[in-house]
Structure 1
Amino acid sequence: MKFTKINQLLVPNVTTPCENTSFIPISHFPDKIHTTPRNPGFHFSTELQDFLQGKQLLFDDLPFPIELIQQHYENGFVSYRPGIAYGQDLFCNRCGNEDSFLFSAFHCARCHSECFYCRKCITMGRISQCTPLVSWIGPEINIITLEHPLKWSGQLSLAQQTASTEVVKVINENREILCWAVCGAGKTEVLFDGIAQAILNGKRVCLATPRTDVVIELVPRMKAAFPHTEVIALYGGSEDRHKFAPLTLSTTHQLLRFYRAFDVVIIDEADAFPYSSEPMLEYAVQHSKKPDASTVYLSATPSPAWQHEVKQGKRHAITIPARYHKRPLPVPTFKWCGNWRKLLKKKQIPAILTKWILNHLSNRKQAFLFIPHVHEAESLVSLLKKLDSRITAVYSEDQNRKEKVTSFRQGEIPILITTTILERGVTVPNIDVAVLGAEDAIFTESALVQISGRVGRSASYPTGDITFFHYGKTKAMIAAKTHIEDMNKEGFKRNLLIGE
């Protein structure tokens, strides 16, 4: 598609074909955004408003005639932005990509010329130099709440209530906060009052997380807590893809479709892959927010940089150093197991690990056994099945992953060998955890803290054993143990914990 300017208005060649007019791709105009003054007498399409509000979409994504969209642009209700900014360097306005290796040129049938497109966000639809991003800039649909939206009847712990009060304050004042809470602290419940206050004030809230399974898990919990509020879930293949609601649950990837949409953005697991290592996702989050939006980050394991900023007073944070059941976090123990990889190649298991396995089988105590890599998990499970045929392994590419996790939850699998894929999100009431090869680089401080956080989460079973089997201690192992011990110390200092 190409455009020209007529009386300072951007006009596409598909609505104004003219042989004597020069049309060029939208990226060739110097403007970063194309808008016109709003015509208060224009009768806008409420269907287009409902579909486009808070979004940045391609013409191909819009089930409306281009003439209707252009009419709304000319009357000041829709804006156009170039998908790919064209200057000395290329820049994708949808995903923030500026890496020249992630742009490719092709002969475009729309603009009939060589046209660059962004490969980084290609899964969201191809965006190129001649494709505009279309956004709604007309009046917003008001959120009307006739009664208090929160219907949760649970009770927060003292630590949760302190954090909840601070979150409400931050949301009311349109500020930013990090909620640094231990694994199993009940972070979701801490958000309830803040979300309710935002909805009462007519604000739109987005709770985003890097992982699809977390979004799916949160949906029934949020719908139960806010039964009279529309709640939608956005992830790959979601049926809610084209909806916009007061409370949106979304993967961080899906936020690439949004632009100045949300008054409150909550990022759960801000330290988790891929959000922690992908600038595109942080870009998506920032552009999905309104300019004066409040932001809440949730994390059990903030990055070292964020931890330093908190300690220096440069980042506003509230800590929850205790779980709701007020028992201390189980602390990992270190056990040397020798060159376990060499033994595995010889189809042998370290004696200390065999003893650990047999002890758990005889005591009928379920356990996770983490191992660095898939091929090692496969080698280990073939040996351990000789001890108990029910022992199995799971990893990200395992087609039966969900079924195995379900079987483990139901007590049908005594020991589940896993890669770091299960370091987060899976809660089983009464288990122990071990890590074989804790010295491997894949087991960062963050990963080891998260793995340790699988133990003792239930009020009925608040204790458990965490064992790091290693072939040499690492800084990450020591840092993880120190992290957990420091949280316990803070919990006792603030009188949030009972017992040792």
Structure 2
Amino acid sequence: MQKILFGKQLLLEELPFPLEEIRQHEQHGYLLFRKGIKRELLSCVRCGTTDASWFAEFPCARCGKVEFYCRKCLMMGRISECSQLVSWAGPDLNFRQIADPLQWSGKLSTGQQAASQQVAEAVENSAELLVWAVAGAGKTEVLFAGIAEALSTGKRICVATPRTDVVLELAPRLQKVFPDCKIAALYGGSEDRHEAAQLTIATTHQLLRFYRAFEVMIVDEVDAFPYSIDQTLQYAVEQARKPKSSLIYLTATPKKQWQQQCRLGKRAFITIPARYHRHPLPVPQFIWFGNWEKQLSKGKLPAISSKWAEARLAAGKQALIFAPKIAAMEKTLRILRRMDPSIESVHAEDPDRKAKVIKFRNKEIPILLTTTILERGVTIPNIDVAVIGAEDRIFTESALVQIAGRAGRSAEFPTGTVTFFHYGKTEAMLGARRQILMMNKEGRKKGLIDR
């Protein structure tokens, strides 16, 4: 029971033990029971929500009363007023101290090395740190020294990310470089949910099941949806940490409030303003192309964007084109397919999404149209990037920086063009370009960019 419950908060009915065994552990003082819903404040203890719109009443078969339950975290199992959250309060589960846990022969760039050292110091001192690293800087490798420091001192670590596909990518990568450490990968439907691993890679949603579990909490892509706007997930991160623990955030695009805190010295941070290949980030070019939606409704694309696509096809250069809406993307696709029928499009609900991305990686698709679903997490060595309708409000400053970060990521092809086709410049567009120019300036100042 200790291994399953240590650092967790589970509903009583979730426990895979007979009631008699649970009561025995309770008598020894090994279990902590907390009410699931606080009626006086109308708040959920598991997910922290206090918004009354997320609570509903139902006749409870267990206690016979009409009770409130929380709809916000209903996917984790229904929690109501008479529900009990159970946590381990007995002896600690001690994790072993692994000597020389890191088995990696790679080399860090100068920028990565500086950040890596600060991450390791934050882990050692149970401190908070923001790693503000440009897209393609190699953030995962920056974590290695900090994770190694934690494993060598018997600490428990969690790397949390908003997206399941990042969990699936990170788990084997970290297992390869930390071969002597047990790693659990947690996401919806994961088979590792009862594992008490020393290193856990989890979606931020899965942290709702943890309670004071980790001495080291690393949150990757802290700017990504839904974590960036969901206070429940931010509450889950805080609740899953031990009272004395380190908290490390990773992002290429911190929110404006955090950027201001960094400038005023109110937040500990380290920047990696340049990619490991020492080339500057591609700076977006703004091109006005009129009332493009009106043109699309007539089955046409503004000539300048059509010429952009024709030039890439003629040069054999792959390209990603981002569109603000699926309807606009599909209309654009029909027009571009007149140039080349192998051009494809992809969006979040596309059942062939993964297959199309693989075909694009294999150079079977010359141009791939997409919504913001591919703004991060996709690395293609040699591509140009364009945004159609960059003025649309879905293209936030953060999204545009990430989109621009798809180009020039490879050491073999460190350059690439980024073009924002627009019907009027927005503050988000200008802010994205300012942020990229600022990072290039800082990279040159620190000697991290060759030219």
TM-score by length of 2: 0.99
Query: Counterpart of 1:119?
Result: 71
Cα distance in 2 for partners of 1:456, 1:154 equals: 21
Cα distance in 1 for partners of 2:93, 2:56 equals: 39
Is the 2:98–2:180 Cα contact (8 Å) retained in structure 1? no
Cα distance in 1 for partners of 2:75, 2:443 equals: 45
Query: Counterpart of 1:196?
Result: 148
Q: Give aligned pairs, total.
A: 451
In the TM superposition, what is the alpha-carbon distance from 1:76 to its structure 2 partner?
1.3
Is the 1:83–1:132 Cα contact (8 Å) retained in structure 2? yes
In the TM superposition, what is the alpha-carbon distance from 1:147 to its structure 2 partner?
2.7
Instruction: Give SS of 1:313's match.
Output: coil
In the TM superposition, what is the alpha-carbon distance from 1:391 to its structure 2 partner?
0.6
Q: Does 1:60 align with 2:17?
A: no
**Unmatched runs of 5 consecutive residues or more in structure 2:** none
In the TM superposition, what is the alpha-carbon distance from 1:74 to its structure 2 partner?
2.1
Of residues 384, 401, 419, the one that matches 2:336 is: 384
Equivalent AA in structure 1 for residue 284 of structure 2: P
Query: Counterpart of 1:84?
Result: 37
Cα distance in 2 for partners of 1:232, 1:390 equals: 40
- Which aligned pairs between 1:261-272 and structure 2 lie closer than 5 A? 261-272=213-224
In the TM superposition, what is the alpha-carbon distance from 1:234 to its structure 2 partner?
0.3
Query: Counterpart of 1:74?
Result: 27
In the TM superposition, what is the alpha-carbon distance from 1:70 to its structure 2 partner?
2.0
Is the 1:59–1:66 Cα contact (8 Å) retained in structure 2? no
Query: Counterpart of 2:139?
Result: 187
Query: Counterpart of 1:220?
Result: 172
In the TM superposition, what is the alpha-carbon distance from 1:95 to its structure 2 partner?
0.3
Cα distance in 1 for partners of 2:98, 2:121 equals: 22
Cα distance in 2 for partners of 1:485, 1:307 equals: 15
Equivalent AA in structure 1 for residue 14 of structure 2: D
Cα distance in 1 for partners of 2:19, 2:53 equals: 32
Greater Cα shift, 462-471 or 58-67: 58-67
Equivalent AA in structure 1 for residue 199 of structure 2: L
Instruction: Give SS of 2:448's match.
Output: coil
Q: Does 1:301 align with 2:265?
A: no
Query: Counterpart of 1:393?
Result: 345
Cα distance in 1 for partners of 2:171, 2:319 equals: 28
Equivalent AA in structure 2 for residue 144 of structure 1: R
Is the 2:98–2:154 Cα contact (8 Å) retained in structure 1? no
Is the 1:164–1:190 Cα contact (8 Å) retained in structure 2? yes
Of residues 128, 146, 149, the one that matches 2:80 is: 128
Of residues 147, 150, 160, the one that matches 2:102 is: 150
Residue deviations 1:407-441 (CA, integer Å, cap 9, x gap): 00000000000000000000000000000001111
Of residues 357, 370, 393, the one that matches 1:418 is: 370
Cα distance in 1 for partners of 2:54, 2:431 equals: 37
State the identity %.
Answer: 57
Cα distance in 2 for partners of 1:141, 1:276 equals: 32
In the TM superposition, what is the alpha-carbon distance from 1:258 to its structure 2 partner?
0.2
Q: Does 1:137 align with 2:89?
A: yes
Query: Counterpart of 1:485?
Result: 437
Instruction: Give SS of 2:112's match.
Output: helix
Query: Counterpart of 2:158?
Result: 206
Residue deviations 1:363-411 (CA, integer Å, cap 9, x gap): 0100000000111111111111111101111000111100000000000
Q: Does 1:405 align with 2:357?
A: yes
Residue deviations 1:263-314 (CA, integer Å, cap 9, x gap): 0000000011000000000000000000011000000000000000000000
Equivalent AA in structure 2 for residue 235 of structure 1: Y
Cα distance in 1 for partners of 2:89, 2:370 equals: 48
Q: Which runs of 4+ in 1 moved over 6 A?
A: none
Query: Counterpart of 1:96?
Result: 48
Of residues 354, 370, 373, the one that matches 2:322 is: 370
In the TM superposition, what is the alpha-carbon distance from 1:77 to its structure 2 partner?
0.8
Query: Counterpart of 2:394?
Result: 442
In the TM superposition, what is the alpha-carbon distance from 1:146 to its structure 2 partner?
4.5
- Which aligned pairs between 1:6-17 and structure 2 lie closer than 5 A? none
